[in-house]
Amino acid sequence: MIDHLSTYTTDFPAAKAFYEAGLGSLGCEIQTEMIASWDPEFPERRMCAWGPSGRPVFWLIEVKEAIGPRHVAFSAPNRQAVDSFYKALLHAGGRDHGAPGIRETYHPDYYGAFVLDPDDNNVEACCHAPE
């Protein structure tokens, strides 16, 4: 249903490193990087997007003032990938917002982990498969 989505940051280098670590652990790579030279208000605005090969799905866009916070959840193929994502984001400077574990509130097999990014966005990886 979703073709692409974006989040915003006031610290592009820190946020890019943060998402590179987490999304890389899920097998996603940067698909495109650009400067928004067409924007007269912010002609040096940086942008990049991750996704599977040839598909820029998750965009990181630099802003001058904070927008948010937001929540985004990335699909993980298994619980080990959720754990790897969580550890990679903490190592990249993220702040714990919910260690990996079962979240029965959603359903009995919902396994997720939550980390705050450099802009206080709530970033999650989740797996719906039974153990």
Section 110-123 average pLDDT: 96
pLDDT at residue number 131: 81
Section 4-12 average pLDDT: 95
pLDDT digits (tens, 9 = 90+) for 26-81: 999 999 999 999 989 899 999 999 999 999 999 999 999 988 889 999 999 999 99
CA angle 108, 73, 48 (to 5 degrees): 160
Residue 60 pairs with which residues in a beta bridge?
Answer: 7, 48
Q: Is 25 left (phi over 0), alpha (psi -120 to 50) or beta?
A: alpha
pLDDT grade for 1, boundaries at 50, 70 and 90 = low
d(CA 12, CA 43): 15
CA distances to 17, 36, 42, 46 from 72, rounded to whole Å, are 17, 24, 25, 20
Domains delineated in the chain = 5-127 (3.10.180.10)
Q: Which amino acid would we find at residue 28? A: C
